[in-house]
Every structure is written in structure tokens, then in C-alpha cells.
Structure 1
Amino acid sequence: MGQAKPTAVTPRTRRAALTRESILEAALHVCSPEGGAVLTFSRLGKELGADPTAVYRHFRDKDELVLALSEVLVRESEELTAATAPGREDWRGWLTATARALRTVYLRRPVLAVLAAGRTTAGPAETESVEEIIGVLHRAGLPVIEAAECYRMAVDLTLAFIHTNASFLVLDADTQAKDDIAWSVKYGLLPADRFPLLQQSAPRLTELFRKDEEVFEMVLSTFLDGVALRIERAGE
């Protein structure tokens, strides 16, 4: 008796196995540079080997999918924080690791970061994260309301940087080059008699244009200095 041929996997077979989890996994991949970085149901259908309309059985529309993906990113950032952060008693080190993890996870998929960085899911991952950050700041010495205010500032600062960085990363190479030239050439050629401070600082500004992570670290550190002063005042 001859060896049986393997059963062919048809689109219908794949659709039958389609789950919410498999859709999210495929969507994360298509949002990455390796996956093409274009999130459409058509592109997602190709990734899944299914008719794009099959996605609607699990997600009402693209916005619902984006919010679900946001929850995945928050959960990933929590896992990365847990692997890299010091203990929560070191509030500054822990918050630094939290912000870095959030930025790292989102910028792995810039096209998704542009869509999701400004959204609120109110899902389990997000609400647990909010509670935890407020708790760390409260145990550090801030009253609950002030801790909540600092949470909001820290997260908004981080997400604003993520959105700005991601918006640049999704531009085509030619457009990115135009911005690079604007800093490295046009600002450097400004007349010193009219723009003396810009002319002196143009080399540094040009350098920082290529170093988003360094700028983020500078701003985060300055913000946390302010939080430290609030904690100090609260303990007086």
C-alpha cells in the first residue's frame, strides 16, 4: 500500500481554525517591518490564508482590533518590565524600566504605535498597569491623587514620544531624508547674526535628530527629577 498523501490545507480549513488569538498574532506580524507594516483586513486575510471577511466574526471593525492589539502591547510591556526592572521599592528605577519597556514594545510595530499610542482600552492589561503604577508612586510617598496625576503625566509623556517616533519611522526613506537634510544642512546655514543661538546649537540638534532614544532618556530623567521633588515635599 502506497504512502498516503498529506491532506492539503485549504483556505476553508484555515478559516475553520481561525481564532481571536490567531488573528491578533497575525496582526502583530503584519504591523512589523518584516510583515509589511500595513494593517488592513485585506492584508490580514492574506497573512491568515483566509477571506478578510472572516476577521469580522471576531472583531467588529478595525478600531476594535486596534484596541485589542493595544492590550497585547501593554501586556508585552509589563512582561518586559518584569524582566528588566528593579524592585518596586526603587520607584525611580522601576518607572524608568516601565517607560523604556513601553517604548520598546510599541516601536517594534511603528504602524500600530501610530494607531494605538493615543487610545484607551480600559481592558484588563491596561487597568492592572494603571493600578500598579499609581501604587508604586503612592508607596514612594505621594498621596493617592498626586500619584495618579504623576501616573498620567508619565504615561502621556512616554506615549507622546512613542507616537512622534513612530510617525517618523513609518515615513518612506526619501521623506525621512528630507527631515535629516533640514537639520543637518538648512539649520546649519542659518545666518549667525539673526540666529546666533541656533547656529551655535545646530550641531547638537543635528546629532539629537538621529538619537530619539537619547532625547527620550533626557526628558524622562528630567520628569522623574520633578516627581522626586514632589515625593520629598510630601514627606515634609
Structure 2
Amino acid sequence: MPRRADDRSATRAPARLSRETIVAAAIDLADRDGLAGLSMRRLAQHLGVDAMSIYYHLRDKDTLLAAMVDAVAAEIETEAGVEAGAEAAIMGGGTAAGVEAAGNGPWTDQLRALITRARRTMLRHPWAARVLEARDTPTPAVLRHIERVLAVMRGGGCSVSLSHHALHLLGSRILGFSQDLFDDSPNTAPTGEAAAAQAAAWAETMPHIAELAAAVAHSGALGGCDDEDEFAFALDLLIEGLDRRRLAERG
């Protein structure tokens, strides 16, 4: 018996699709609607295919999210290559082939520039920071980015020990965002009478917290207080401290 047209279309769908096109479409959806607007069904509709065609390439949503943040992290590398242009060069000191230098100048400027590129990437895809926070293991592109960070520090004279401490100290800032202790983003903060009542209660027993809450605006682009000024302040302070420790180690 001849196949129906819809049967033939469903059979051909996996061949038409690729992992890369699915991931790119999912990133487009997440950029537009956020993670709440991303589901396998909506992604299939966006691509004009049956949902089972997506599972042929990506077994579940967790696998899809991992592939999405890996593609986003790879954009940091792409942006670095574009900026470096004809001057891009492989950094010495045992750096693996294919890892580009962050640029010329002091290692502190190179590290700041590399992390700033990561932040620009995260700002293009605000949802990616939350996915990265929830992951227990780094993706391949994230590992390549960390390799570039280490190459800058080692090339600048930081010891292996100091470079190791720096990774822990910088934390999520390596990838361009700050992971806060609490979620104090605008959508979680009380407003109106509830906010006034909370401030009044804090003022009696925790006056410094009340003072801080009244003075600080939580309008961060990638989470509470994660605006450009706060991110730059923390990054500068950390890099300056690392450079002082590097100098102290060298006597």
C-alpha cells in the first residue's frame, strides 16, 4: 500500500533537520520568549516539523539545553576571533593548539577583555546564565573558554596555584555574569505596601539591611544587582587583587 504524504514527510523530517539547526532555532525561541516559552512542542512548531523529529537528534530537553548553552559559549570564542582578526595568534607557554590569545597588552587587560566579551554574549542570551548556573558539569565550549582564561593568567606570570584560586574567586564572572547569593531580581521583590512593611520591620532589628535595601536598585540585566557598574566593579577589584598576589609570589 502506498504511503500517505504525511507519512513520507514524517520519515524525511530527521534527514532535513540537523542538531545545529534545531539548537539555533531553540536559541532564537529562548531569546525571544525566555526559557518559559521554550518546549519541545513549541520548538517543533517553530521548525515546522513533528516533535518526534527533534528527539531523533536530541533525546530530551536537558540535552537540548546543554547544546544551547554550549553554542552560546562558543559565541565567545567566535567574537574573540573576529576582534583579533589578522593579529590573532596562538599564545605560548604550553597552550593547546587552537586556543587564541585574548590580545596584546598586560595580562590584566587581556583577562578583562576576555570576560567582557563573555558578558556581551550573555547579554545577547540572558536565559543562558540561569541554565549554566544549574549545570553540574561544563560543556566543551565552556571548557575551551576556561582554557583561554587560564592561558591569559599563565602567560601573564600567574602560578598554577594562583590561577586555580582565581577560577574559584571569579566563579561565574568568567562567563560574564554574577551568581548572586539570593534572587533579588525585580520580579521577586515586594512592592507597594508590602515593601514598606518589610522595610519598617527591618529598620528596627536590622537597620543596615534596611538602609541598603532602600538605597540599592535591583535592576540587573542578568539577575538582581548584576548591572554593568556592579559587574565591572567586582571584576576590577578581583583582577587588581590577583595581580597584587602574583607580584607578591614573585617576591
**2:243 aligned to which of 222, 228, 236:** 228
Q: Is the 8 A contact 2:122 2:176 kept in 1?
A: no
Counterparts of 1:29-178 in structure 2 under 5 Å? 29-34=28-33, 37-82=36-81, 87-119=103-135, 120-123=137-140, 125-158=141-174, 161-162=177-178, 164=180, 176=187, 178=189
Q: Is the 8 A contact 2:44 2:54 kept in 1?
A: yes
Task: Label 1:135 to 1:87 Cα distance change in 2 as closer, same or farther (>3 A).
Answer: same
For 2:143, the aligned partner's letter is T
Larger helix fraction of residues: 1
**Worse overlay, 102-111 or 50-59:** 102-111
3-state SS, counterpart of residue 219 of structure 1: helix
Number of equivalences = 218
Instruction: State the shift of 1:11 in Å.
Output: 6.0
Q: Is the 8 A contact 1:118 1:159 kept in 2?
A: no
- Determine what percentage of the aligned residue pairs are the same residue: 24
Task: Label 1:96 to 1:18 Cα distance change in 2 as closer, same or farther (>3 A).
Answer: same
> Residues 167-209 of structure 1, C-alpha deviation per residue, up to 9 Å, x if partnerless?
777xxxxx7174465997456545756544345544432x3x2
Counterparts of 1:195-210 in structure 2 under 5 Å? 195-198=206-209, 200-205=211-216, 207=217, 209-210=218-219
Which 4+ runs in 1 deviate beyond 6 A? Answer: none
Task: Label 1:118 to 1:55 Cα distance change in 2 as closer, same or farther (>3 A).
Answer: same
- When normalised by structure 1's length, the TM-score is 0.73
> Residues 23-42 of structure 1, C-alpha deviation per residue, up to 9 Å, x if partnerless?
01111011113577523211
Instruction: State the shift of 1:130 in Å.
Output: 2.1
Q: Identify unmatched segments of 5+ residues in structure 1.
A: 1-9, 170-174
Q: Identify unmatched segments of 5+ residues in structure 2.
A: 1-7, 85-101, 221-225
> Residues 126-154 of structure 1, C-alpha deviation per residue, up to 9 Å, x if partnerless?
33222221111012111123213313432
Instruction: State the shift of 1:57 in Å.
Output: 1.3
